[in-house]
Structure 1
Amino acid sequence: MARYLAITILSVMMTLSTSSFAKAQSDNSLICRATIAAIFNKSIDEVKVQSEKSEITHVTYVRLSDTSVWGNKCKISDNRVIWATENGRWRDSDFDEIVTYEKIKSEIKIRQSFSDGSSIEESFHAE
């Protein structure tokens, strides 16, 4: 019960701390949120910006199955998004999928392209 309460409080604090920031989010923040949402099958609203530091955006989401908080980070180069888990490696090797984005008006499209030639594309409404 105490763990659930702590996670709930943390989730509320993350929402409150990012709600005023959400209106002033940079394109990089939105693109990172959309990328992590696409990769981990989340809604963009579940992915919260924690910080933007020297072109790296840090985000988190709560995994509902066990209420654990997961952190990821993104950096953007041209139309490519390179991501990593909070303490993991950047996904930029020849064996990793290539993640690209396209922003058209209020829509962000995230495309994951795999080495076998297949790809997945998901669109998100930019706030």
Structure 2
Amino acid sequence: MKLKLLTLLIIIGACTKERNEKYEITEEDRMHEEQAIRIVDEAVSNIDQTLLDKPNKVASPVSRLLASSEEEKEISRFVVSTLYDKKPSLVRVISDGGIYHASYINSEGERRSTKIQFIGNNIRWGNSEGRWRDHPLDEQLSYEINGKKVFIKITYSSGEESTDEYQL
């Protein structure tokens, strides 16, 4: 986020110069850059502290915008745990080019597999052999990360929501 903001500040600064004027970074530019970084650091720190002050609430979406590939794999395990009330340790996950297949053995001894795809903080899901559950009447899933905690939220077509919390 800091890098994106810094890049944006540099682009804005460059756009304010005359098109034909050669742009050179001055000491004043460096001071503004350092000030911008301090402001961003302070804002992130304030957000983090606000989230820590509310441990029983779902984290704000700004706590973490995206998960790493390893975190997505672990979150896939949590998605199946939330959907089917399974212990995360019983769920196995494999990655297939941006789509994760999370499976478990049901009480009849049959393997059940769910396909999962991450689109930002939204989770697209469905039976591995079936359709994606992305119809307006299907449950909508999302996740949020706050430190080492992951919150999986299910939003039902009725508007009701439920959230499960897991540890990364």
TM range (shorter): 0.7 to 0.9
Q: In structure 2, what is the equivalent of residue 58 of structure 1? A: 101
Q: What is the identity, as a one-letter code, of the residue corresponding to 2:99?
A: I
Structure 2's unaligned 5+ residue stretches are 1-68
Q: CA RMSD in A?
A: 1.2
Contact 1:97 1:115 in 2 (8 A): yes
- Would you identify which runs of 4 or more consecutive aligned residues in structure 1 move more than 2 Å? none
Gaps of 5+ in 1: 1-24
Letter in 2 for 1:105: G
Counterpart position of 1:99: 141
Q: Which amino acid aligns with 1:79?
A: N
Q: Paired residue for 1:69, among 96, 108, 111? A: 111
The within-5 A match list for 1:1-127 is 26-49=70-93, 51-63=94-106, 65-126=107-168
Point out the structure with the larger strand share.
1
How many aligned residue pairs are there? 100
- How does the TM-score come out when normalised to structure 1? 0.74
Deviation at 1:62, TM superposition (A): 1.0
Deviations along 1:63-107, whole A, 9 cap, x unmatched? Answer: 1x2121111110000110111111011111111111010111211
The TM-score with structure 2 as length reference comes to 0.57
CA distance in 2, matches of 1:44, 1:104: 19
SS of 1:82's partner is: strand
User: Counterparts of 1:45 and 1:125 in 2: how far apart (Å)?
Assistant: 12
- Structure number with higher relative contact order (C-alpha < 8 Å, ≥ 6 residues apart): 1
- Greater Rg, structure 1 or structure 2? 2
Query: Which secondary structure state, in structure 1, belongs to the residue aligned with residue 72 of structure 2?
Result: helix
The residue that corresponds to 2:47 in the other structure is: none
Structure with the largest fraction of helix? 2
Partners in 2 of 1:79 and 1:42 — Cα distance?
22
Identity of aligned residues (%): 24
